[in-house]
Structure 1
Amino acid sequence: MGGSIMETILLLREENERKAEARRADEEKRRSEERAEAKAEAEERRHRDKMEMEERARRDREEARARTQELLLLIGALTKKD
């Protein structure tokens, strides 16, 4: 009977160790997935920010071009009056 109790204790211990290892593996998998998700979100943010910066730069260039055209028209109008 004493050997049977010892065997049961060892089996329970092994089962607990397997469960603990499975929990650790699940936790590591979850953390890894969270890191991958965070990395993907950061990459998407960087891409979106880059696109917004490029769009702002394009608009700024267009506005500068339009202002230059206006100035040229004004200068032309002023020089024709003289």
Structure 2
Amino acid sequence: MGGSIMETILLLREENERKAEARRADEEKRRSEERAKAKAEAEGRRHRDKMGMEERARRDREEARARTQELLLLIGALTKKD
């Protein structure tokens, strides 16, 4: 009977270890998925930021071009007056 109790204890211990290992594996998988999600979100933010910066730069160039045209028209008007 003592051997049977020891076998039961060993089986319970092995089962506990398997469950603990399964929990650790699940936790590692969850952390890995969270890291992948965070990485994807960061990449998305960087992409949106880059697109925003490019759009602002494009608008700035267009505004500078428009101001230059206005200045050229004003200079042309002033030089024709003289």
TM-score by length of 1: 0.99
Deviations along 1:24-75, one digit per CA (max 9) or x if unpaired, are 0000000000000000001001100110010000000000000000000000
What RMSD in Å do the two structures reach over aligned CA positions? 0.4
The answer for unaligned runs of 5 or more in structure 2 is: none
The answer for the alignment partner of 1:67 in structure 2 is 67
| 4+ residue segments displaced more than 3 Å | none
Aligned pair count? 82
C-alpha displacement at 1:20, in angstroms?
0.2
The answer for unaligned runs of 5 or more in structure 1 is: none
Q: Following the alignment from structure 1 to structure 2, what is the Cα–Cα distance between the partners of residues 14 and 76?
A: 92
C-alpha displacement at 1:81, in angstroms?
0.7
Share of identical aligned residues, percent? 96
C-alpha displacement at 1:76, in angstroms?
0.5
TM-score by length of 2: 0.99
The answer for the alignment partner of 1:40 in structure 2 is 40
Q: Following the alignment from structure 1 to structure 2, what is the Cα–Cα distance between the partners of residues 48 and 58?
A: 15
C-alpha displacement at 1:11, in angstroms?
0.4
